[in-house]
Chain A
Amino acid sequence: EAQVTQNPRYLITVTGKKLTVTCSQNMNHEYMSWYRQDPGLGLRQIYYSMNVEVTDKGDVPEGYKVSRKEKRNFPLILESPSPNQTSLYFCASSSREYGYTFGSGTRLTVV
């Protein structure tokens, strides 16, 4: 089954404790992306990647890191999480021709 898998689904952590949210796709898509979704602000793009070792900032990259060492994986790293990074996060992937297919989401709470 074609899908984007992200883990974990839910995460509660403390301020300053580094964390990684994993994302994997099995569709051989070139593009991958991370979004966060907050009430009243909609979906905002954090980072995106056009291919292996090619990444670029979205609209809200501060406080996040990404890497694309393999085509299928695109982890999101929060080196020192803060409470304002409490949000619902979505990973997504796409081919050149079509829009993004989204993962099921990760609900992150930073206390």
Chain B
Amino acid sequence: GQNIDQPTEMTATEGAIVQINCTYQTSGFNGLFWYQQHAGEAPTFLSYNVLDGLEEKGRFSSFLSRSKGYSYLLLKELQMKDSASYLCAVRRNQGGKLIFGQGTELSVKP
């Protein structure tokens, strides 16, 4: 089977750093993705990890540990516009099967 867990909600302060965790159990792991989704809009791609380690992209970083089935998304210098849902997704095998977690609703407060 497959299971992806991430916290339902998080709150952080503008200018701060927040870490959103994701744990997964799946067969045929072939990459982990993070997406951002504002209410009523389409998800947009943030980051991709297929090997262990940290991928940095401006204010956003993502980490993967395949042996632990664990990833996190790190958002630095938080801005109000970062208030959104953050979706962790795992790709299985070589095909187009991409399974999403239920998302973490992040609220950034002044």
Contacts and interface: CB of A to CB of B under 8 A. Distances in A.
Contact of A48 (B43, B45, B87, B95): B95
Interface residues of A, number: 27
Given A42-B87, A103-B42, A104-B42, A58 B100 contact: no
A56 to B, nearest CB: 7
Interface residues of B, number: 23
Interface string B82-110: 00000101010011111111110000000
Main secondary structure of the interface of A (DSSP, over half): strand
Interface string A25-42: 000000111010000111
Given A50-B96, A94-B96, A104-B41, 20 more contacts: A31-B95, A35-B100, A40-B102, A42-B102, A44-B100, A45-B98, A49-B96, A50-B95, A56-B95, A56-B96, A59-B99, A90-B42, A99-B31, A99-B35, A99-B45, A100-B45, A100-B98, A102-B43, A103-B42, A105-B41
